[in-house]
Amino acid sequence: MGARMGRKTKFRLAGVLFLIALIIIFYNTPLVHIWRRTAWLGGGQKFVIILAANVGGGVMEWKGAREWAIERDSVRNKKKYVKKWGYDLEIVDMSTKKRYAHEWRESWEKVDFVRSTLRKYPKAEWIWWLDLNTFIMEPSYSLQSHIFNDLNKHIYRDITYYNPLNISHPFTDDYLDEESRSPVGDGDPDSVKLILSQDCSGFNLGSFFIRRSAWTERLLDVWWDPVAYEQKHMEWEHKEQDALEQLYTAQPWIRKHTAFLPQRMINSFPTGACGEHGNDTRIHYNEKDRDFLVNMAGCEWGRDCWGEMYNFRELSYYLNRNPWERFKEDLVAVVWEKITGHKVKL
């Protein structure tokens, strides 16, 4: 048989076999995962996602079917994402505790959890905090390609670029050094230690990045300490978010290491949030632009969290269907419906 096979056919056959081998390696072995995970190859180990789950935790209120469903979906979404790109996922328990409650506050939960996570994952460089009511719409974006490979292009350090809080920037005091008075710090992306986004009413900590560094340790210390913002947390509505705003406004050393991302890079809102003035292209999710992540911020105040989560989950699936799913849903199911008159879910 070999004798009868032409030289060309042999090459073609070898090519097909090679292709099959590649497919097997790519889809059926952990090789890709290991590659993406390794710090000096894909770099996945450098990123840890903290997901704030079990909000409330059955202490003061019931955790009913909807809350469980939201948690299931949100956790599954992040687990899949993390598995795909070789990151680590740390699911933290946000159940209500007296020591985090307003009147008795010893600390902010976020601060404590960021600290313990940095300790738990010694290889982690960036920590990405995510609230429970978030959904990664485009799992095919890796954090590296989406943000970190070209950090300087995406971030803005001069808050006057978008400044809903009207924070005066930069500092002008004479006693400050050159770097603190500069609107963009030292301009080097390596000096950025905290990346967050701003919504219509200021800082938003539903989705932010923080980098392992001495500066971060100091920030977490100060953030934690009520003395640094004059015990105002009883007046503030947004807890640690307001505290951070206060620190940013008052402390030059914090400002020069903080950077912002346009909100829709990491934190798109559904129309229900910040929606008093209609749809805002800087804030709200748009499926045509394939925004990375949706944060259903404030949905527990009078909106339907589970409904929104379900819609975005289905939308994300719809936008990211693979060819087989497209084939069976857009062709087979439609044809079947035409023939039989019944809708089918394949």
* Residues within the interface to another protein (CB under 8 A): 57-59, 61-65, 68-69, 95-99, 101
Phi then psi for residue 189, to 5 deg, are -60, -20
Cα(64)–Cα(57) distance, integer angstroms: 10
183/171 Cα distance (integer angstroms):
8
Q: By the 8 A CB rule, do 78 and 158 touch?
A: no
Nearer to another protein, 59 or 165 (CB): 59
Give the Cβ contact number of residue 7 at 10 Å: 7
Q: For residues 99 and 120, which CB has a smaller minimum distance to another protein in the complex?
A: 99
Least distance in angstroms from the C-beta of 60 to another protein:
8
Choose among 251, 237, 211: nearest CA to 124. 211
Residues in CB range of 327: below 8 A, 6 or more apart: none
The CB-of-277 to another protein minimum distance in angstroms stands at: 37
Residue 346 Cβ vs another protein, minimum distance, rounded to whole Å: 24
Q: Which two tokens stand for residue 250?
A: 């008052």
CB closer to another protein, 96 vs 311: 96
DSSP annotation of 188: -
Give the nearer residue to another protein in terms of CB position, either 106 or 289. 106
Q: Report the residue number, 94 or 219, with the smaller CB distance to another protein.
A: 94
- Return the amino acid letter for 69: A
As measured in angstroms, the least distance from the Cβ of 186 to another protein is 43
Contacts of 319 (CB under 8 A, 6+ apart): 137, 138, 287, 290
| Other CB atoms within 10 Å distance of the CB of residue 313 | 17
At its nearest, how many Å lie between another protein and the CB of residue 112? 13
48 phi, psi to nearest 5 deg: -125, 130
Closer CB to another protein, 96 or 140, in the complex: 96
Q: How far is the CB of 137 from another protein (least distance, A)?
A: 25
**Nearest to another protein of 83, 97 (CB atom):** 97
Q: What is the DSSP string of 39-82?
A: TTTT-GGGEEEEEEEEEETTSSS---HHHHHHHHHHHHHHHHHH
* Nearer to another protein among residue 54 and residue 216 (C-beta): 54
CB of 65 to another protein, least distance (A): 5
Least distance in angstroms from the C-beta of 269 to another protein: 28
Cβ count within 10 A of residue 167: 14
